[in-house]
Amino acid sequence: MKKLSLITLCLCCFGLLCAQPVSKNGGLTADQIKTIQNSYKATGADKALRNAIVTNDINKLAKNFDNRTAFDDHFSNEVPSKAITDQASSGRCWMFTGMNVLRSKAIKKHNLPSDFQFSQCYTFFWDQLEKSNLFLQAILDNRVKSMEDETVKWLFQNPLSDGGQFTGVANLITKYGVMPQEAMPETHNSNNTSQISSLIKLKLREDALELRKMANNKSVTEKMLQDKKMEMLQTIYRMLVFAYGEPPAAFTWTQRDAKGNVVSTETYTPMSFAQKFIDADFSKFHMIMNDPTREYYKVYEIAYDRHVYDGQNWKFLNLPMNEIADMAIASIKDSTNMYFSCDVGKFLDRDKGYLDVNNYDYGSLFGTTFNMDKRQRIASYASMSSHAMTLCAVDLDKDGKPLKWMVENSWGPKYGHNGFLIMTNEWFNEYMFRLVVESKYIPAKTLKLFEQTPILLPAWDPLFAPEEEYEM
């Protein structure tokens, strides 16, 4: 009897639950769901589109046939190209791009072979160790804050990444020097970073929790915390050595000219090699950005936007696109390429290596519109800088106005247009975000704006996510 009563009670409760409104305060009601369902008429055209879309790549179906003749690879002004590099399955585009800018200078100055490269593996090794220290020290700097604090949460969410900006190139080379690729070549894990990166991040998070626990113990001194941090970094160093090899303190390298003739054979340290082959004063490189959501002609700085704890956060001057374009043109005309970053995945024709806002007509395919402008896309998290490349060419019309641009990519020579990507000027305006320009190409009035006290932005600002896009 009691068992029957219990069953009856449960059934009654279930009936009451079913009788309750499914939605409240903005939730979808059954009637609303029915209205939405009835709005789809399943016409013959809709059925045909559905059948096509469910079985095909959307970009293939949205390809704009009317734009098929727009592609042109002629450029009125072009910096001589070098051998295309390949970051493989890693998020090191910022480093490849920065070092491509620097190797171009080295090749030109020292008459080196066109396939000369600085060791990306060497620089990346120190990048990962420095970022690990940056994270652990930031954890100590914020030890009094709760785990719910926004900065603390961001740190634990982002203990380490492959990505970065030109900041890292400047900081790391200044501190550690460089070497030719032959002195520390790529490894399987430098070309495929996901596994080792995941393990190091896991270890760093574990270490961070331990440091926070120690810091809450009143008997623990600052020296004890720093000693513990050093112990943790020794473990990270060991993991990095296993994955990437140990950076040599010195190496012997034979320099050859562009024709392959031996010039000299010498023993270098990374710093002595940098002193000879890095023809750059990093204080004269300036980051320009275009962010229409923020006031122009102001300088911005992003917390923790650096690779080295004892380095400097990079400063960005926000400018209109026409002024950025003028500086880029001046640099290219002087045979000087530039660090460039953009939202590379938008309207990219991967077969041609062509970026054009008219490449794909998604609106017609789905019977709707996609009308946000650059400001709206940034504000709504729909677009941000994802990838760095080397800006190396511009095609100007008879009035000196840009028609299209070209970048040297780091996805290998077989990708895109022989390793390059070509973009229309319209795409450049819509999806370009950052450009590193040398002082001599920046008008004096504009250059003076960098003397402002920067406006500090939080580390989680969406526009300043590390550039790390890579091709799988």
Q: Count other Cβ atoms within 10 Å, centred on residue 218.
A: 6
Written as six digits, the tokens of 173 are 């080379």
Cβ–Cβ < 8 Å for 422, 81: no
Cβ within 8 Å of residue 172, ≥6 positions away: 123, 126, 127, 130, 307, 308
Q: What is the DSSP string of 13-71?
A: HHHHHHHS-S--TTPPPHHHHHHHHHH----HHHHHHHHHHTTS-HHHHHB-GGGTT--
Distance CA 292, CA 284 (A): 25
Q: Is 13 assigned a catalytic role? A: no
Q: Which of 189, 290, 359, 409 is catalytic?
A: 409
Q: Which of 93, 121, 342, 392 is catalytic?
A: 93
Q: Count other Cβ atoms within 10 Å, centred on residue 410.
A: 28
Burial 19-58 (b: 16+ CB within 10 A, else e): eeeeeeeeeeeeeeeeeeeeeeeeeeeeeeeeeeeeeeee
Measuring CA to CA, how many Å separate 303 from each of 103, 261, 453? 30, 48, 14
Q: Which of 100, 286, 387, 429 is catalytic?
A: 387
Distance CA 161, CA 105 (A): 28
Which of 288, 374, 295, 275 has the alpha carbon at shortest distance from 331?
Answer: 288
Q: Is 409 assigned a catalytic role? A: yes
Alpha-carbon 124 to chain mean position: 15
* DSSP for residue 187: -
The catalytic residue positions are 93, 387, 409
